[in-house]
Structure 1
Amino acid sequence: MILDTTTVVWGVAVLAALLLAGAVAVLVRLVRTRRELRRAGLPTGPRWVFWGAVLYLVLPADLLPDPVYLDDIGVLLLALRTMRGSLGAGAPEVSGRRPGRQPADDYAP
């Protein structure tokens, strides 16, 4: 079975679109995490980590060409991990719960 050029182009386009969607999803998660940490008054880590990751995604200069967003996703995930790591260093008693929500086991009928 020989694939024609149109099929290959569509396959590459779909893969690039999925990778872009993944990069945008990680970017949204990074922005939400930073906003929640700032709202709670907790450390967000160095500013350059957040802005550097955002700029790396937006600017055209990459390690890999832009249809391949794997390097962008890696940089965003590294920034997210750094921000969450600074959370643990700055607030030792913080649980994984969202602010204002009670865990299910604390509810006694």
Structure 2
Amino acid sequence: MSREAWLLVVVAGIVAIATLVGAVLLAIRVVRTRRLLTGLGAGGKVAFYGALIYTIFPVDLLPDPIYLDDMGVLAGALIYLTRLVHKRRAAGRQLPGQPDAPPDTGRVRRPVS
């Protein structure tokens, strides 16, 4: 093989590994949101399980060495789940798995210098 062909193979390998790592990191973040699912309703559960099934399922829009479509689905699910969480918090509902909010004392904390 020529030097240019080897360079192309190495660059393609690096891109494939980088997208795989990105997809795995996004999948981990989606899985960490699982503890909030009971408070997010059916839409949250569909987004969570749909994103994970799409990522694991071997039939994709793009071939498996290219994980950009998987990353897009996982990122979309994270954005949707994050919006659901913020909407629930704005409505004043406590989500399962979330720590209780500390009581507001009205005092301003000043940094210690």
**Following TM superposition, by how much is the alpha carbon of 1:70 offset from its aligned partner in structure 2, in angstroms?**
0.8
The residue number in structure 1 matching 2:16 is 16
User: 1:55 & 1:26 partners in 2: Cα distance?
Assistant: 14
User: 2:111 & 2:4 partners in 1: Cα distance?
Assistant: 63
Of the three residues 81, 85, 89, the one matched with 1:87 is 85
**Any unmatched runs of 5+ in structure 2?**
103-107
**Any unmatched runs of 5+ in structure 1?**
none
Contact 1:34 1:83 in 2 (8 A): no
CA shift in 2, pair 1:89/1:101, >3 Å: closer
The residue number in structure 2 matching 1:52 is 50
What is the TM-score of this pair, normalised by structure 2?
0.71
Supply the AA of the counterpart residue of 1:79.
A
Which SS does the other structure have where 2:73 is aligned?
A: helix
What is the TM-score of this pair, normalised by structure 1?
0.73
Show the 5 A alignment for 1:31-70.
31-35=31-35, 37-38=36-37, 42-43=39-40, 45-70=43-68
Q: Tell me the alpha carbon deviations over residues 35-71 of structure 1, each in whole angstroms, 9 at most, x when there is no partner.
A: 3x25xx7426431211110111111111111111111
- Percentage identity across aligned positions? 35
Question: Max radius of gyration: which structure?
Answer: 2
Q: Tell me the alpha carbon deviations over residues 13-32 of structure 1, each in whole angstroms, 9 at most, x when there is no partner.
A: 11100100000011111111
CA shift in 2, pair 1:43/1:11, >3 Å: same
User: 1:101 & 1:10 partners in 2: Cα distance?
Assistant: 50
Give the alignment's Cα RMSD to 1 decimal.
2.9
Number of paired residues?
A: 100
